[in-house]
Structure 1
Amino acid sequence: MWEELGRAFCLMLVFEGILPFLYPNRWRALVAALATGTDRELRVTGLVSMLVGTGLLFVFT
């Protein structure tokens, strides 16, 4: 189980690094836009991200 969690964490880091590597200026603008958002907007974005991730995990397993 810990090995699978470690692999999942490593894949998350790879996927998180793709956008800043390929499009650093766009990524910087996105982060700046997120920083100006309200707490509610950030929470909704996080919730949607978690739900999509959970849904995809369910589909692929």
Structure 2
Amino acid sequence: MIDFVTALGLVLVIEGVLYALLPGGMKTIMRGALETPDQTLRVTGLVVAALGLIIVWIIRG
């Protein structure tokens, strides 16, 4: 559980830094996401989640 909370905290740090350093770029990315079809976002999300799982599995293994 501690690893999960640590990972969640790291995600928040990375997102916070992106919003602080590149607010205009993040707005552009959000506009692009709104224009992207749901199916594309869904598949991309699943691929990224699987990649993250593989990375964690390799690092922890």
For this structure pair, what is the TM-score category when the shorter chain's length is used for normalisation? 0.7 to 0.9
Distance 2:55 2:2 in 1: 20
Distance 1:60 1:4 in 2: 13
Q: Do residues 49 (structure 1) and 10 (structure 2) align?
A: no
2:49 aligned partner, one-letter code? M
Instruction: Give the superposed CA RMSD.
Output: 1.3
Normalised TM-score (structure 1): 0.81
In structure 2, C-alpha distance between the alignment counterparts of 1:39 and 1:23, rounded to whole Å: 25
Structure 1 counterpart of 2:57: 58
Gaps of 5+ in 1: none
TM-score (norm 2): 0.81
SS of the residue corresponding to residue 25 of structure 2 reads: helix
Query: Structure 1 CA distance, aligned partners of 2:17 and 2:47?
Result: 20
The percent of aligned pairs where both chains have the same amino acid is: 30
Q: Within 5 Å, which residues of 2 pair with 1:1-61? A: 2-61=1-60
List runs of 5+ in structure 2 lacking aligned partners: none
Structure 1 residue 17, shift from structure 2 partner: 2.0
Distance 1:6 1:54 in 2: 16
